[in-house]
Amino acid sequence: MNTQLRIAIVGAGPGGLTLARILHLHGIATTVFEQESHPLERPQGGTLDLHEDSGLRALRQAGLMDAVLAIARYEDQGSRLLDKAANVLFEDQDAASGDRPEVDRTALRAMLLQALPASCVRWGCAMREVQARADGRWNLLFGHGSEGPFDLVVGADGAWSRIRPLLSPYRPQYSGLTFIECGIDDVDRSHPALAQLVGRGKMGVEADGKEIIAQRNGNAHIRAYAIFRVPADWAARRFDLASPAAMRVELIKEFDGFAPEILDLFRASNDHFAIRPICALPVGHCWPSRRGLTLLGDAAHVMSPFGGDGVNNAMFDAAELARLLIERTDWAAAVAEYETLMFARIVESAEGAAEGAATQLSHVGQELTLAMYRSHAGWNQDEIHPFA
Ligand SMILES: Cc1cc2nc3c(=O)[nH]c(=O)nc-3n(C[C@H](O)[C@H](O)[C@H](O)COP(=O)(O)OP(=O)(O)OC[C@H]3O[C@@H](n4cnc5c(N)ncnc54)[C@H](O)[C@@H]3O)c2cc1C
């Protein structure tokens, strides 16, 4: 590929940064435009498990395996399933032996940023619009003015991508599930009973059409999600995010009948609650190739987190796009080939994530989950529910 090609990547998430890093390794400069003003503007979210055949493969291609091993938590791959009285229905005690290490998102982003020249990422650049130029190239419009021209613009700007409307009329649809997120800090010292309840990995409990999933993160932090099947606007009407004290009280009310030691997750939460309606693009989402524009990661195929493939898919998309750009002489043909391969590759995990979301909180939810945990105890983690 011509190394003079001007490439803009919109979004410094795991997908965009992986693409920038692999191209950088091969002497191809890119500019990443990120709306956040600096890397720590907001917490990047919880823990993610890296899959050997996608996320880890991409990071290997990025030459970052030593750095990955420094942040990977192999010891936090366990899983527990409880009933609402806090009886253990299933437990995988062999937490460290799996091949899907956990990483914290913030650590993953920091690792990728460290592997790039500081000038590569332009912080505080919220892209508003992509404008077609008469010469077939593209300008990006920001609050501070426009940047360009670029030969290739890669939308790595997540679920609500501003580049996607130029390629596809589809928008993510609400899945019917809403997550209320909360977090508990310093669990080993301040909340040892909760540390034990959640164990070294993730803990799930589902009853009465509601569910709680809690995951151990790095730095002795637990992130928990209260999960409801409700209309899209229900949570915003039901909860007042401006009042953490009221959030705790109302969540405890919602889970009335669950054991007090489970409800302690809400009692012990810090003040950072968030409402996350789970949305997804249709399975099989694709678009006709358009010269100079493409998408990767959630921008291309956001799906429910049931399946745990999102970040792995995003980084593998990036690795594949980079590989083809590096290998092919015709960059536009390389992008079209990437898209064709990606559309076919993503269908399986999109189907799994859609099925995972559809079967959550059914009248036999807990039984279904338990059967799945048991049948996979051997371990085919691909279908372990949820956040495999
Ligand atoms: C509750 C929840 C739990 C999840 N759990 C898991 C899990 O366990 N495992 C897993 O693999 N995945 C999980 N996911 C999915 C995972 O977070 C995503 O699939 C992954 O982050 C996608 O990476 P990305 O780089 O494509 O996009 P993102 O991570 O969304 O990054 C997009 C970046 O683009 C920036 N941006 C957006 N718009 C603009 C703009 N206009 N201009 C400039 N910058 C912009 C954003 O600020 C962001 O930095 C979960 C998702 C949710 C909601």
298 lines ligand 1 (CB under 6 A): yes
In the predicted model, is pLDDT for residue 383 greater than 50?
no
In the predicted model, is pLDDT for residue 172 greater than 60?
yes
pLDDT class for 384, splitting at 50, 70, 90?
very low
Q: What is the atom index within ligand 1 of the atom nearest the CA of 11?
A: 34
Distance 142 CA to ligand 1 centre (A): 21
Quote the tokens at residue 143.
Answer: 């609050």
Distance 135 CA to ligand 1 centre (A): 32
Mean pLDDT within 285-295: 98
Quote the tokens at residue 377.
Answer: 């105890």
272 lines ligand 1 (CB under 6 A): no
pLDDT of residue 248: 98
Provide the 10 A C-beta neighbour count for residue 145: 8
CA distances from 371 to 81, 82, 209, 360, 367 (A): 11, 13, 17, 13, 6
pLDDT class for 387, splitting at 50, 70, 90?
low
Distance 298 CA to ligand 1 centre (A): 6
**Ligand 1 atom 15 nearest Cα:** 310
Residue with tokens 């091969």: 26
**Ligand 1 atom 19 nearest Cα:** 310
Mean pLDDT within 225-254: 97
Q: Name 5's Cβ contacts closer than 8 Å, sequence gap at least 6.
A: 28, 151, 152, 331
pLDDT of residue 162: 98
More confident residue, 176 or 39: 176
| Least confidently predicted of 80-94, 112-126, 278-292, 342-356 | 80-94
pLDDT class for 232, splitting at 50, 70, 90?
very high
What CATH number labels 7-76+99-172+281-359?
A: 3.50.50.60
Quote the tokens at residue 176.
Answer: 């019917």
Q: CA-to-CA distance for 93 and 11, rounded, in angstroms?
A: 38
208 is known to lie in a ligand binding site: no
The CATH number of 175-279 is which of 3.30.9.30, 3.90.1150.10, 3.30.420.10, 2.40.70.10? Answer: 3.30.9.30
CA 295, 296, 299, 301 torsion: positive or negative?
Answer: positive
Distance 50 CA to ligand 1 centre (A): 15
The maximal CA–CA distance of the chain, rounded, in angstroms, is 66
Mean pLDDT of all residues in the chain?
93
In the predicted model, is pLDDT for residue 220 greater than 90?
yes
Contact 185, 265 (CB under 8 A): no
Q: CA-to-CA distance for 220 and 254, rounded, in angstroms?
A: 27
83 is known to lie in a ligand binding site: no
Q: Name 380's Cβ contacts closer than 8 Å, sequence gap at least 6.
A: none
Distance 277 CA to ligand 1 centre (A): 14
263 lines ligand 1 (CB under 6 A): no
Distance 45 CA to ligand 1 centre (A): 9
**Ligand 1 atom 51 nearest Cα:** 305
298 is known to lie in a ligand binding site: yes
Per-domain boundaries in the chain: 7-76+99-172+281-359, 175-279
pLDDT class for 380, splitting at 50, 70, 90?
very low
Residue with tokens 């490439």: 7
Distance 244 CA to ligand 1 centre (A): 25
Residue closest to 325 by CA, chosen among 35, 65, 26: 26
Residue closest to 325 by CA, chosen among 337, 314, 315, 313: 337
**Ligand 1 atom 4 nearest Cα:** 305
Residue closest to 160 by CA, chosen among 297, 36, 289: 297
Work out whether strand 210-216 and strand 222-229 pair parallel, antiparallel, or are unpaired. antiparallel
In the predicted model, is pLDDT for residue 385 greater than 50?
no
pLDDT of residue 44: 67
Mean pLDDT within 206-225: 95
**Ligand 1 atom 37 nearest Cα:** 157
H or E segment to which residue 299 belongs: helix 298-301
33 lines ligand 1 (CB under 6 A): yes
> At CB < 8 A and 24+ separation, what contacts does 214-219 make?
214/265, 215/46, 215/47, 215/387, 216/47, 216/76, 216/102, 216/187, 217/46, 217/47, 217/102, 217/104, 218/47, 218/71, 218/73, 218/102, 218/103, 218/104, 218/107, 219/104
